[in-house]
Amino acid sequence: MTANRPTPRPGVLDIAPYVPGKSTAPGVDKIYKLSSNESPLGPSPKAAAAYQAAAGKLEDYPDGAATELRQTIGRTFGLDPDRIVCGAGSDDLLNLLVHAYVQDGDETVYSEFGFLMYPIYTLGHGGKPVKVPEKDHTLDVDAMIAAVTPRTRIVFVANPNNPTGTYVPFDEIKRLHAALPPNVILVIDAAYAEYVQRNDYESGIELVATSENVVMCRTYSKIHGLAAVRLGWLYGPASIVDALNRVRSPFNVSVPAMKAGIAAIQDAAHIEKSVAHNNKWLPFVSEELSKLGLKVTPSVANFVLMHFPETAGKSASDADAFLTKRGIILRRVGGYGLPNALRMTIGDEEANKLVVATLKEFLGSKA
């Protein structure tokens, strides 16, 4: 029977569209947007200046190979630029990986509270996403290994993970990799790597350098404060990089984004300032929220996940409404299977203290 209208490929209509954090609070004069893990310090002034300078010549196509940007990233991290691919955000690169390596019926494996785009990209390319339960909101390596089948093509690991903020030590990542067949790609999504202050953590560069089936993705949206320009990069084996360069769009990174990215990654002082800010306020927020009686998942990133009781009037939904009326916007995470939790990005001093004070008022008020 012929369909009476175009029909998308199997899997597409099974996708629950990604819903970003809200950004408005109608009727409120001042907004404190802490829903999208954006940098409270903004981008490096040098990056902003480089972006603005690029506006003087917008009629020319970008360098399709992003040569200068890849070379700058390579010098910064001591990597071969020929093994780097740049994209319009790290999610662009995640999509390219699925596009290049997942066929109809193939499987990808991801953890229970992993980034929602992993199953979305998988379904969009005809694959089957396999969700693996976590332990205490932390990736369970043994469960991930057990979920791998002959149909598995990619294993996604967000380390640290969003929205939980948890991480797994590098030895555990290596143990996971050692258990994978050589034809399965281990994707280490290290979007929040710069914030982690743990001696047993590594972003994945070492494992990529010594393996043929490991890639690491990074983003400019977090520590560098360049979420608006959409810029990310991937470091991988030569064979995977070759495949991605064959399927990516020819000009997938704009000139302003490249120029801003080059300047941002070289501004070590701004990066250090952003890390220092997070080191000060992440423990403050976590401790103060815990004092209010909320369960806070230990985080190593630039956000915290707080859990509310199911009590009427005190739920995450009630808290969200209470905060929004005061211009404070946190992230609902029901789409991740966490309906009784809110995620809060670490903001500036005013915002951080205001959230604590407002939640104290909320939790102390009568239902």
Per-chain mean pLDDT for the chain: 95
User: What whole-number percentage of the chain has pLDDT above 90?
Assistant: 89
Q: Are 208 and 25 spatial neighbours (Cβ–Cβ below 8 Å)?
A: no
Q: How confident is the model at residue 140 (pLDDT cuts 50, 70, 90)?
A: very high
pLDDT at 366 over 70: no
Q: Domain extents for the chain?
A: 12-42+269-364, 45-266
pTM of structure: 0.94
φ, ψ (nearest 5 deg) of residue 102: -110, 120
Q: Do domains 12-42+269-364 and 45-266 have the same CATH topology?
A: no
Q: What is the mean pLDDT of residues 125-144?
A: 97
- Candidate from 84-98, 158-172, 223-237, 352-366 with smallest mean pLDDT: 352-366
pLDDT at 352 over 70: yes
User: Hey, what are 132's tokens?
Assistant: 């693996």
pLDDT tens sequence across 228-266: 999 999 999 999 999 999 999 999 999 999 999 999 999
- Candidate from 13-22, 71-80, 99-108, 339-348 with smallest mean pLDDT: 13-22
Angle, to 10 degrees, between the axis of helix 238-247 and the axis of helix 90-101?
100
Q: Are 276 and 289 spatial neighbours (Cβ–Cβ below 8 Å)?
A: no
Question: Which of 313 and 226 is assigned the larger pLDDT?
Answer: 226
Q: What is the mean pLDDT of residues 141-164?
A: 98
Domain 12-42+269-364: give its CATH architecture.
Answer: Alpha-Beta Complex (3.90)
Q: What's the pLDDT score for residue 365?
A: 59
CA distances from 29 to 32, 47, 51 (A): 10, 30, 30
Q: Are 167 and 196 spatial neighbours (Cβ–Cβ below 8 Å)?
A: yes
pLDDT at 3 over 90: no
Q: What's the pLDDT score for residue 263?
A: 98
pLDDT tens sequence across 204-229: 999 999 999 999 999 999 999 999 99
pLDDT at 26 over 90: no
Q: Domain 45-266: give its CATH code.
A: 3.40.640.10
Q: What's the pLDDT score for residue 1?
A: 53
Q: What is the mean pLDDT of residues 345-361?
A: 98
